[in-house]
Amino acid sequence: MDFLATPPAGLAGLFLSSFLAATLLPGGSEIALFALLKLHPDLTTPALALATIGNTLGGMTTYAMARLLPQATLPGKSALVTRHGAPILVLAWAPIIGDALCAAAGWLRLPWWPCMLWMALGKGLRYIMVALGAGVA
C-alpha cells in the first residue's frame, strides 16, 4: 500500500483522476491533487501540469464525442456556447455546466485548438487555486 504514496504512483493516479473527472464520469480530481500536494509539496509543478493536461484531455474527449453526434437536436448549453464561442470554455472546470459546455462546443464544431486552449486555461487556474489551498503554490 505504501507504493500508492510514492511520487510516480501519485502522479499517475492524479493524471487518471483528472482525466476521468473531466468526462461524464463522476470524480474529484481536486481532492487527489490536494492530497498529493500535502504528501509531496515538492511535486507542485509536475502535479499541476499533469492535472491540467489530464483534465483538459478529458474535456476534449467529451468535445470529440459530441462532435461525432448528428446536429439534429439542440443541446441545452449550445446557445451559451454559440453566443460566446470558445472563450466560454474557460468555465469547463465548473461543476454541472462544464461537461455540457465541452459537449456543446464539440457538437457546434467549434475549432478544436482555441477550445483546448480556453479549456486548459480555466482548468489550470482552478488547480492553482487548489494548490494555494494546500499551501504549496
Q: Which residue has the cell 504549496?
A: 136
* Domain that includes residue 70, residue range: 2-134
Domain count, the chain: 1
The pTM (predicted TM-score) of the whole model is: 0.90
pLDDT reported for residue 1: 39
- Sign (positive/negative) of CA torsion 33, 36, 38, 44? negative
SS3 9: helix
pLDDT tens, residue by residue, 35-90: 999 999 999 999 999 999 999 999 999 999 999 988 776 555 567 677 888 999 99
pLDDT reported for residue 4: 56
Q: State the pLDDT confidence band at 3, using cuts at 50, 70 and 90.
A: low
- Give dist(CA 23, CA 98) in Å, integer: 10
What is the enclosing helix (H) or strand (E) of 114?
helix 112-134
Residue 24 has pLDDT above 80, yes or no: no
State the Cα torsion 68-72-78-83 to the nearest 10°: 110
Residue 108, all three cell numbers: 457546434
Query: In this predicted structure, which of 3-7, 99-103, 127-131 has the lowest mean pLDDT?
Result: 3-7
Query: In this predicted structure, which of 3-17, 43-57, 66-80, 113-127 has the lowest mean pLDDT?
Result: 66-80
pLDDT reported for residue 80: 67
